[in-house]
Amino acid sequence: MEKYSIRSFIQETAQSDTKNGLFELEKEHLLELNINNQTIMIKKGAMVAYDGEIKFTREGMLSKGVGNLLKKAVSGEGTSMMKASGTGRVYVADLAKKVRVLYLENETINVNGNDVLAHEESIKSDIKMMKSVAGIMGGGLFQVHLNGTGHVAITTHGDPLTLLVKPGKPVYTDPNATVAWSGNLTPKIKTDISLKTFIGRGSGESFQLQFEGDGWVIVQPYEETYGTAE
């Protein structure tokens, strides 16, 4: 049947040649990077295909002035990035998560370290760990502080929801479901023993991230788990 022919399948799924921007959503779960004598930072292990003359070089996000203790505390693919340099097209994805492209104009955002898919080299990144969470969550919660002008691609399980944080009206989120928040906000840890049997996967106190001030926080309809370091 023509509907199920190989030709039909190829026509339906073929890459698009009409999108030539640096960061393009080829599919909702697949990011296309059109690199022209440039360098893009992409999440280690996220490349699924490429064409042209592209060189990949690993670069550890934790290698710049961060102690060995922090290196041991953080685990998972989100701990390192790699450089994609040259001219060609690179396709990146992460566990079929949805991809969102943001363009920063001398702005700052904080992103869960596991949800950074790619960013331009012009964007400065700095990784930080929420020390007060390290002993509670497996491996702790680490965030990437992104600042500058350029494209950033983040990922979410399912469709994200952005909650507005207003003065006097704090917002509380599950750390495992928190994706990103505005650069001017600094989350605090809020524990609630009475909720420990209803919220969260652990057997200890229930805890949330508390956001206060004027900004926003992005959550996903999924609780991401983090492995512990050996």
Judge whether 8 lies within some domain: no
Judge whether 226 lies within some domain: no
Judge whether 126 lies within some domain: yes
The tens digit of pLDDT for each residue in 88-108 reads 999 999 999 999 999 999 999
pLDDT for residue 197: 52
Of residues 153 and 18, more confidently modeled = 153
Judge whether 148 lies within some domain: yes
User: What's the count of helices (H) and strands (E) in the chain, helices before strands?
Assistant: 3, 14
pLDDT category of residue 63 using cuts at 50, 70 and 90: very low
Report the number of distinct structural domains present in the chain: 1
C-alpha span between 228 and 92 (Å, rounded): 25
**Closest alpha carbon to 220 in 169, 176, 184:** 176
pLDDT for residue 65: 42
pLDDT for residue 132: 52
Q: What is the CATH number of the domain that holds 178?
A: 3.60.160.10
pLDDT for residue 184: 93
CB 24 within 8 A of CB 45: no
Enter the tokens of residue 59: 């670069």
**Closest alpha carbon to 124 in 109, 102, 141, 142:** 109
Domain around 89: 19-219
Judge whether 7 lies within some domain: no
* 9 pLDDT higher than 90: no
Q: Average pLDDT of 18-35?
A: 92
Judge whether 47 lies within some domain: yes
Judge whether 144 lies within some domain: yes
C-alpha span between 194 and 125 (Å, rounded): 38
The tens digit of pLDDT for each residue in 130-156 reads 655 544 544 446 789 999 999 999 999
Judge whether 3 lies within some domain: no
C-alpha span between 150 and 169 (Å, rounded): 31
Task: Quote the percentage of the chain above a pLDDT of 90.
Answer: 57
